[in-house]
Amino acid sequence: MAKDKKVLVVGGGGRCHAIVDALMRSPQVEKVYCAPGNAGIALQAECVPIKDTDVPSLLAFAREKKVDLTVVGPEASLAKGIVDAFRSEGLKIFGHTRAATRIESSKEFAKDLMKRYDIPTASYRCFSDYSEALSYVSSRPFPAVLKYDGLAAGKGVVIAQDLQEAQDALKSMLLDGQFGEGKVVVEDYLEGPEFSFMSFVSGEEVYPMPLSQDHKRAFDFDKGPNTGGMGAYTCLPFITDEDWKEAMDGILKKTASAMVREGCPLSGVLYGGLMKTPQGIKVIEFNARFGDPETEVVLPLLESDAYDVFSGIACGEALESLKWRNEVTMGVVLASKGYPGSYQKGFEIKGLDKVQAKVFHMGTSSSEGKFYTAGGRCLMVVASAPSIEEAGVQVYSQIRRIQCDALFYRKDIAHWALEGKAAQVIDGKALSGSIKLSVKETVGRLAAEGKRQPCLAVIMVGDNPASQVYVRNKVKAAEFTSMRSIMEALPEDTTQEALLSRIDALNRDSEVDGILVQLPLPRHIDESQVISAISKDKDVDGFHILNVGSLWLSQDCIKPCTPAGVIELIKSTGIGIEGKLALVVGRSNIVGKPVAKLLLDENATVIMAHSRTRNLKELALQADIIVAAVGKAGLITGDMVKKGAVVIDVGMNRDSDGRLCGDVDYASARLRASHITPVPGGVGPMTIAMLMRNTLDCYFSREDKE
């Protein structure tokens, strides 16, 4: 087969990038032009600065370059009549005629067609008069669905919850002329999961693409405003074979023949925005083009020669049935912070060259080999794998390699499909609550027996806000358990001598069982001297050199709180530590090293690593237990986690949004792990619970000695 075909792709977003990418995989395609294209498309095609709606210039370009085929992305170009214009000049073009594009551009046309041909959709009425529309809506149950008739760039649908909202929407659609002259379709509100069924259609012939689902809301858990789509995936577990057949026969094929009978046959993509309602599959909307961002997850799976497909549909030839890779894909959109509201552009995007997944550009610019944000939605990263969990692991692990503080992305793409497949979340708050409760019971019993009360003394020097929060939480926990607490806040300029003498007084105070000095201390004070000044038996943190030494010699000692809490968390999963391979990342004296020792004491095999360990990924992939305590955001990504491992994230960092995050990339790691701690609240509360337990232990060992 000769590699000699030239193709022009019209459009410039992520969807067009996916079309260009599919065409570039064809062994027949020598060159792709894209008008206007974008900075990412320019890596694969020659971009030409012609607007996608400038039909005369596009026509002239196609003729001049003798392109063999033109493929149209956006609906605006189709609605402008680009296909009619090219065909009248004898040029081969993939896309619908202007008349056929009405299936998307006119809601009234589409609704009317569905009614006449008995294609299931919400029942509706169409209005151009404001008062008639309002009185109809008032007579019907809410919510009411109001759709502006015409291309409104996705902003033409309002789901009104009450009469006031309906009135406002109708006013802006029919009276204020915000969208131009037009009509409003009022339709019944339907409920159920939505999905996208795209197909290539040529006359009566329908060639289905894999199903996919878009995520329209801006934020996780489908919160926040509507957007152009924040992610998509293929393979929908909630659509059965029967549902698929019902949609294919009862909707797509029926619509294709209806359009033939109406004298405006389809010759491009028919996109069914469908909903699985309790009354069967129904049409929410039709589009006359590829969906965005669905195309970016669907076309990478096309195994057939894309040139043959587009060219065959353009010529009205019958195609062999299409071949699709037997994998699923997940794609996550990286958007500018602020989108879909206002946002700034022009921030450099780094690390794109390190990403081992498809990256489709939606809105970027480039200059001297660097990429910059240039739109609301900027990039879409797409990974394919045999299962949706694996696709999720890959896509989120790879996204971590992209560095740009101005971008955000949803962490829950495909949550519909992943329900029940992700790790169990280790509930550190609940476990710490039950430990504190048992301490409280013991303290209560001592009181009932008329015994001396346990007492924790907490010292803080200076007014570091983080330290204040930690100290307050520790004192609050002590109050919860009804043990006594002494809180001493010393000024920043307290001398080391003064501090040491306070500690000495507490050491000698027979009413005090535990002494904790909140770290870090001001620079003029030597922390190690302070820690060693605390009596070994009152060292509730377990930091005293004699406690540390005893821990390593397996002698009786006070165990440091966070490491002891980590062990409790691992045990709470029920996996059994003995014989397991544990990887501890981070070698600090207060977390990493003692965790490793405590794991050894539980008869685990332990590997210790740090943030720059060369083969960290290979080591991590063998571990049944991973404990990350480094303080480096996203160091452990899901592709480093063995299936079924227990992942404990001790790290507490701030990501570029200022939100707390751990050392583990939760979005991807949770898809491999069997159990995982969330951030925040995964390990922190355990530190405090163990502090309470240590205070009680100090109390009892002192009482025993007397």
Task: Provide, rounded to whole angstroms, the least separation between the CB of residue 287 and ligand GLY.
Answer: 5
Asked if residue 229 binds ligand GLY (CB under 6 A), the reply is yes
Question: In angstroms, rounded to a whole number, what is the distance separating the alpha carbons of residues 659 and 184?
Answer: 42
If the CB atoms of residues 145 and 584 are measured against ligand AMP, the closer one turns out to be 145
For ligand GLY, which stretch binds (CB under 6 A), given 285-293, 498-506, 605-613, 698-706? 285-293
Kindly report the number of other CB atoms within 10 A of residue 653's CB atom. 16
Kindly report the number of other CB atoms within 10 A of residue 654's CB atom. 10
Asked if residue 95 binds ligand GLY (CB under 6 A), the reply is no
Query: What is the pattern of x (binds ligand AMP, CB under 6 A) and - over residues 259-288?
Result: --------------x----------xx---
- Residue 246 interface partner, choices ligand GLY, ligand AMP, none, CB cut-off 5-8 Å depending on type: none
- Residue 287 interface partner, choices ligand GLY, ligand AMP, none, CB cut-off 5-8 Å depending on type: ligand GLY
Which helix (H) or strand (E) is 212 found in, with range?
Answer: strand 212-214
Cα 93 to Cα 84, 284, 309, 320, 616, distances in angstroms? 9, 28, 12, 19, 51
In the list 145, 483, 516, 566, the residue contacting ligand AMP (rule: CB under 6 A) is 145
* Contact of 281 with 274, CB cutoff 8 Å: yes
Asked if residue 126 binds ligand AMP (CB under 6 A), the reply is no
If the CB atoms of residues 284 and 650 are measured against ligand AMP, the closer one turns out to be 284
Task: Provide, rounded to whole angstroms, the least separation between the CB of residue 210 and ligand GLY.
Answer: 15
For residue 68, give the DSSP letter: S
User: Contacts with ligand GLY in 103-142 (CB under 6 A)?
Assistant: none
Asked if residue 292 binds ligand GLY (CB under 6 A), the reply is yes
Task: Provide, rounded to whole angstroms, the least separation between the CB of residue 606 and ligand AMP.
Answer: 51
Question: In angstroms, rounded to a whole number, what is the distance separating the alpha carbons of residues 227 and 340?
Answer: 6
* Contact of 609 with 632, CB cutoff 8 Å: no
* Contact of 76 with 53, CB cutoff 8 Å: yes
Asked if residue 291 binds ligand GLY (CB under 6 A), the reply is yes
If the CB atoms of residues 154 and 576 are measured against ligand AMP, the closer one turns out to be 154
Asked if residue 157 binds ligand AMP (CB under 6 A), the reply is yes
Considering Cα of 470, then 654, then 608, then 520, what sign does the dihedral take?
negative
If the CB atoms of residues 229 and 662 are measured against ligand GLY, the closer one turns out to be 229
Which of these, 547, 666, 667, 640, lies nearest to 585 by C-alpha position? 640
Which of these, 57, 138, 80, 97, lies nearest to 262 by C-alpha position? 97
What is the DSSP pairing of strand 328-336 with strand 184-187? unpaired
Question: In angstroms, rounded to a whole number, what is the distance separating the alpha carbons of residues 50 and 437?
Answer: 70
Which helix (H) or strand (E) is 689 found in, with range?
Answer: helix 684-705
Token pair of 19 as six digits: 């079309």
Token pair of 286 as six digits: 């039709």
- Residue 194 interface partner, choices ligand AMP, ligand GLY, none, CB cut-off 5-8 Å depending on type: ligand AMP
Task: Provide, rounded to whole angstroms, the least separation between the CB of residue 121 and ligand AMP.
Answer: 8
Task: Provide, rounded to whole angstroms, the least separation between the CB of residue 215 and ligand GLY.
Answer: 9
Q: Where are the alpha helices (DSSP H) in 534-672?
A: 545-552, 561-572, 592-601, 616-622, 666-669
If the CB atoms of residues 142 and 480 are measured against ligand AMP, the closer one turns out to be 142
For ligand AMP, which stretch binds (CB under 6 A), given 108-116, 154-162, 290-298, 600-608? 154-162
If the CB atoms of residues 194 and 243 are measured against ligand AMP, the closer one turns out to be 194
Give burial (CB, 10 Å; 0-12/13-18/19+) of 277.
Answer: middle
In the list 21, 214, 390, 539, the residue contacting ligand GLY (rule: CB under 6 A) is 214
**491 Rama class: left (phi>0) / alpha (psi -120 to 50) / beta:** beta
Task: Provide, rounded to whole angstroms, the least separation between the CB of residue 103 and ligand GLY.
Answer: 13
Cα 229 to Cα 18, 88, 214, 219, distances in angstroms? 15, 35, 6, 11
User: Contacts with ligand GLY in 333-362 (CB under 6 A)?
Assistant: none
Task: Provide, rounded to whole angstroms, the least separation between the CB of residue 109 and ligand AMP.
Answer: 14
Indicate the residue whose CB is closest to ligand AMP: 285
For ligand GLY, which stretch binds (CB under 6 A), given 255-263, 288-296, 306-314, 366-374? 288-296
Hey, which residues does 197 pair with through a beta bridge? 272
Question: In angstroms, rounded to a whole number, what is the distance separating the alpha carbons of residues 669 and 621?
Answer: 12
Task: Provide, rounded to whole angstroms, the least separation between the CB of residue 543 and ligand GLY.
Answer: 55
Cα 291 to Cα 271, 294, 372, distances in angstroms? 7, 5, 25
If the CB atoms of residues 287 and 674 are measured against ligand AMP, the closer one turns out to be 287
* Contact of 578 with 603, CB cutoff 8 Å: yes
- Residue 189 interface partner, choices ligand GLY, ligand AMP, none, CB cut-off 5-8 Å depending on type: ligand AMP
Q: Which amino acid is residue 638, in one-letter code? A: G
User: Contacts with ligand AMP in 177-196 (CB under 6 A)?
Assistant: 187-190, 194
Taking the CA atoms of residue 101, residue 104, residue 106 and residue 112 in that order, the dihedral angle to the nearest 10 degrees is: 100
Asked if residue 294 binds ligand GLY (CB under 6 A), the reply is yes
- Residue 205 interface partner, choices ligand GLY, ligand AMP, none, CB cut-off 5-8 Å depending on type: none
Contacting residues toward ligand AMP, per CB under 6 A: 122, 145, 147, 154, 157, 159, 187-190, 194, 273, 284-285
Contacting residues toward ligand GLY, per CB under 6 A: 214, 229, 287, 291-292, 294
